[in-house]
C-alpha cells in the first residue's frame, strides 16, 4: 500500500469507506495556492539555513512552478488515495523532481502546514471581503445622499415614532458595515501569524528560522516585525482565528439580514415605500401579478447558514485536548462556505442598492398617519417653560383629540390646540410639520438633512482612505 505516507507500519490497507471518510482533498484542494506558497517559503529558509542544498531548492521551485501551472490548467490529477491537498502536492512534487521533493517536509508536519495554509488563504479572503464591504458602503452612501431630504416614518416597535431622513436611515447601515470592516481588520491581525516551525506539536530539532519564513509570507505586523506563533502546541491546535472570523462574518450577515427585512417590508403592498429593480426579483409560477424580493429573502435565510457555521466551528473546538486532532479537518467546509456566502451576498447587495426606487409620497403619507411630530409639540411646550413630563402629558391629550377627530396634530386649529395650553401660539405649526421636525434635529448624529450630508462627506473621506 505504497500510496500512503505512513504505510510501513500498517499491515492492511485502509478500507475504501475509511478512505472516503477521512479524505479532505475534494474540498481542501482550494488551499493549493497557499500550500505552495507555504512550501516555497519553507524550502527557501531550509536552504538559507544550510539544511537543504541549492540544487534541491532549485528543483523544488521548478517542480512547484509546474504543479501550479497544472492546477491552473485543470490538468492536475487530485487523488483521493492521497487524502488531502498537502499530500497530493507533495507526491506530485516527488514524481516531478525526485528526492528533492522528499526533502521538502524536513522540520515540518502537516499539522503546522495545514494551520499555515488556512491562515494564508483566509488572509487573502479577508482582504477581498474588506474591499467588498467598502463597495457596499459606497453604494449605500450614494443612495443616502440622494435621499437626504426624503422623509420616512422612523419606527420603534414598528409603530410610527418620529420622521427621519431616508438617507439617515440608510447611513445607519453604513455605520454597521463600517464596524464590520474594523472587526475584520482586527481579526486579520490574529490570522496573520505563522504556525510553521511548530512541526507536529513540540517544535523541531532543525535550526529553522521561523521569522524568516514569516517575513517571506508577509506575516508581519504594521511595524514590519515577523508574527510567529509563540507556542508550538497552541500553533498547531489554535482555530480561534477561524472562529472569530466566522463570528465577524455572522455579524455582517446579521446586518445584511436586518436590511433585507426592511427592504422586504418596504416593498410589500402594505408599505409600498420602495421598489426593487426587476433583476433582483422573481415572479410566481401561479400568481401572474407577483414580483417577489427573492434576493433579500435569500440573504436573510443565508444568515442562518453562516451563524450555523459559527456554531459548528465553536463546537468543534470544545473538548479537544491539545494538540492537533483530526477534528480540525472539519474547520474547512464551514469556513469556505462562510467566505463564499459572504462574498456573493456583499456583491449582490452593492449592486442592488443602486436598484432601489424610492417612493417619497408613500413614505410621507405613512409618517403623517402616525402623529410622528407629537414629540415636537412637547418640545415646543418645554421651550415655552413647561417641564418635559408635563408637556408629555398635555400632548397625549392633544393626540387623543386628534385621533377622535381623525386628523393630524398639524390639522387641529390653533384655538383647539390652545385649549391644551394657552402658551401655544401660531409658531407651533412649523414644528408640527414633518419637515420642520426633521430640520429641528440638527445635532451631531441627528436626522436633519444638513447632518446627513455632513455624514455622507465623512463616510466618503473615510472610504477613500481605505
Q: Give the span between the Cα atoms of 312 and 115, in whole angstroms.
A: 18
State the nearest-atom distance from the C-beta of 6 to ligand ARG, in Å: 9
Report yes or no: 191 and 119 within 8 Å, Cβ to Cβ: yes
- SS3 assignment, position 124: helix
Report yes or no: 282 and 274 within 8 Å, Cβ to Cβ: no
Report yes or no: 180 and 252 within 8 Å, Cβ to Cβ: yes
C-alpha cell at 331: 474547520
Q: Give the span between the Cα atoms of 34 and 52, in whole angstroms.
A: 21
State the nearest-atom distance from the C-beta of 344 to ligand ARG, in Å: 25
Of 329, 338, 341, 410, which lies in the binding site for ligand ARG, with binding defined by CB under 6 A?
A: 329
117 forms part of the interface with ligand ARG (CB under 6 A): no
328 forms part of the interface with ligand ARG (CB under 6 A): yes
C-alpha cell at 307: 451563524
Of 47, 111, 165, 451, which lies in the binding site for ligand ARG, with binding defined by CB under 6 A?
A: 111
Sign of CA dihedral 16, 17, 19, 23: positive
284 is catalytic: yes
Stretch that binds ligand ARG, among 107-115, 123-131, 166-174, 310-318 (CB under 6 A): 107-115
State the nearest-atom distance from the C-beta of 85 to ligand ARG, in Å: 8
- SS3 assignment, position 220: strand
84 forms part of the interface with ligand ARG (CB under 6 A): yes
**Which residues make Cβ contacts (< 8 Å) with residue 296, sequence separation at least 6?**
259, 260, 261, 263, 264, 276, 352
State the nearest-atom distance from the C-beta of 87 to ligand ARG, in Å: 8
137 forms part of the interface with ligand ARG (CB under 6 A): no
State the nearest-atom distance from the C-beta of 37 to ligand ARG, in Å: 17
Of 110, 169, 210, 300, which lies in the binding site for ligand ARG, with binding defined by CB under 6 A?
A: 110
State the nearest-atom distance from the C-beta of 342 to ligand ARG, in Å: 22
Number of H helices, E strands in the chain: 20, 4
Residue 324 vs 380, nearer CB to ligand ARG:
324
157, 205, 285, 415: the catalytic one is 157
135 closest CA partner among 412, 407, 351, 375 = 351
Report yes or no: 6 and 110 within 8 Å, Cβ to Cβ: no
Measured CA distances, 1 to 9, 92, 170, 360, 451 (Å): 11, 17, 62, 73, 72
Stretch that binds ligand ARG, among 262-270, 324-332, 431-439, 451-459 (CB under 6 A): 324-332
7, 53, 284, 397: the catalytic one is 284
Residue 88 vs 192, nearer CB to ligand ARG:
88
Report yes or no: 19 and 80 within 8 Å, Cβ to Cβ: yes
Q: Give the span between the Cα atoms of 57 and 55, in whole angstroms.
A: 5
Q: Give the span between the Cα atoms of 283 and 299, in whole angstroms.
A: 18
116 forms part of the interface with ligand ARG (CB under 6 A): no
Q: Give the span between the Cα atoms of 391 and 402, in whole angstroms.
A: 16
157 is catalytic: yes
24 forms part of the interface with ligand ARG (CB under 6 A): yes
Of 50, 326, 422, 464, which lies in the binding site for ligand ARG, with binding defined by CB under 6 A?
A: 326
State the nearest-atom distance from the C-beta of 39 to ligand ARG, in Å: 14
Residue 28 vs 408, nearer CB to ligand ARG:
28
Residue 114 vs 191, nearer CB to ligand ARG:
114
H helices of 31-152, in order, are 32-48, 54-73, 85-97, 99-103, 110-146
Residue 25 vs 176, nearer CB to ligand ARG:
25
Stretch that binds ligand ARG, among 108-116, 125-133, 168-176, 209-217 (CB under 6 A): 108-116
The crossing angle, in degrees rounded to 10, of helices 32-48 and 110-146 is 130
Stretch that binds ligand ARG, among 68-76, 110-118, 220-228, 437-445 (CB under 6 A): 110-118
Stretch that binds ligand ARG, among 164-172, 208-216, 269-277, 320-328 (CB under 6 A): 320-328
**Which residues make Cβ contacts (< 8 Å) with residue 34, sequence separation at least 6?**
116, 117, 118, 120, 121, 124
Q: Compute the 3-state secondary structure of the chain and give helix, strand, coil in percent, each to the nearest 5.
A: 65, 5, 30
Residue 105 vs 441, nearer CB to ligand ARG:
105
Total of chain residues touching ligand ARG, rule CB under 6 A: 10
Stretch that binds ligand ARG, among 59-67, 273-281, 323-331, 444-452 (CB under 6 A): 323-331
Residue 109 vs 455, nearer CB to ligand ARG:
109
State the nearest-atom distance from the C-beta of 91 to ligand ARG, in Å: 14
State the nearest-atom distance from the C-beta of 360 to ligand ARG, in Å: 54
- SS3 assignment, position 369: helix
Catalytic positions, written as ranges: 157, 284
The residues that touch ligand ARG, with contacts defined as CB under 6 A, are: 24, 28, 84, 110-111, 114, 324, 326, 328-329
Amino acid at each position: 500500500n505504497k500510496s500512503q505516507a505512513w504505510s510501513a507500519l500498517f499491515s492492511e490497507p485502509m478500507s475504501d469507506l475509511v478512505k472516503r471518510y477521512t479524505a479532505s482533498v475534494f474540498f481542501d484542494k482550494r488551499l493549493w495556492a497557499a500550500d505552495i506558497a507555504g512550501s516555497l517559503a519553507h524550502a527557501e529558509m531550509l536552504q538559507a539555513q544550510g539544511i537543504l542544498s541549492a540544487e534541491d531548492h532549485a528543483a523544488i521551485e521548478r517542480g512547484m512552478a509546474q504543479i501550479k501551472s497544472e492546477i491552473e490548467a485543470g490538468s492536475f490529477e487530485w487523488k483521493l488515495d492521497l487524502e488531502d491537498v498537502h499530500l497530493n502536492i507533495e507526491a506530485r512534487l516527488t514524481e516531478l523532481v525526485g528526492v528533492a521533493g522528499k526533502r521538502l517536509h524536513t522540520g515540518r508536519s502537516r499539522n503546522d502546514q495545514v494551520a499555515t495554509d488556512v491562515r494564508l488563504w483566509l488572509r487573502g479572503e479577508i482582504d477581498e471581503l474588506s474591499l467588498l464591504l467598502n463597495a457596499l458602503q459606497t453604494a449605500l452612501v450614494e443612495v443616502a445622499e440622494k435621499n437626504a431630504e426624503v422623509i420616512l416614518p422612523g419606527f420603534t416597535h414598528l409603530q410610527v415614532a418620529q420622521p427621519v431622513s431616508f438617507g439617515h436611515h440608510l447611513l445607519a447601515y453604513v455605520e454597521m458595515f463600517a464596524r464590520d470592516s474594523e472587526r475584520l481588520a482586527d481579526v486579520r491581525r490574529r490570522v496573520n501569524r505563522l504556525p510553521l516551525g511548530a512541526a507536529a506539536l513540540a517544535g523541531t530539532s532543525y535550526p529553522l528560522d521561523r521569522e524568516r519564513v514569516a517575513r517571506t509570507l508577509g506575516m508581519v505586523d504594521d511595524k514590519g516585525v515577523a508574527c510567529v506563533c509563540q507556542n508550538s502546541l497552541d500553533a498547531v491546535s489554535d482555530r480561534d482565528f477561524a472562529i472569530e472570523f466566522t463570528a465577524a462574518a455572522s455579524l455582517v450577515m446579521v446586518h445584511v439580514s436586518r436590511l433585507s427585512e426592511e427592504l422586504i417590508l418596504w416593498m410589500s403592498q402594505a408599505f409600498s415605500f420602495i421598489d426593487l429593480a426587476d433583476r433582483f426579483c422573481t415572479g410566481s409560477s401561479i400568481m401572474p401579478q407577483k414580483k417577489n424580493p427573492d434576493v433579500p429573502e435569500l440573504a436573510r435565510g443565508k444568515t442562518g447558514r453562516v451563524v450555523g457555521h459559527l456554531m459548528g466551528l465553536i463546537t468543534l473546538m470544545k473538548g479537544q485536548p491539545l494538540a492537533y486532532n483530526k477534528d480540525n479537518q472539519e474547520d474547512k467546509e464551514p469556513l469556505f462556505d462562510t467566505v463564499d456566502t459572504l462574498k456573493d451576498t456583499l456583491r449582490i447587495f452593492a449592486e442592488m442598492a443602486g436598484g432601489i426606487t424610492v417612493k417619497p409620497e408613500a413614505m410621507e403619507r405613512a409618517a403623517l398617519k402616525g402623529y410622528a411630530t407629537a414629540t415636537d409639540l412637547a418640545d415646543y411646550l418645554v421651550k415655552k417653560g413647561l417641564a418635559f413630563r408635563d408637556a408629555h402629558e398635555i400632548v397625549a391629550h392633544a393626540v387623543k383629540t386628534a385621533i377622535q377627530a381623525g386628523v393630524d396634530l398639524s390639522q387641529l386649529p390653533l384655538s383647539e390646540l390652545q385649549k391644551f395650553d394657552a402658551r401655544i401660539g401660531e409658531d407651533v405649526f412649523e414644528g408640527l410639520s414633518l419637515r420642520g421636525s426633521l430640520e429641528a434635529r440638527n445635532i451631531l448624529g441627528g436626522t436633519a438633512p444638513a447632518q446627513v450630508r455632513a455624514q455622507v462627506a465623512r463616510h466618503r473621506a473615510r472610504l477613500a482612505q481605505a
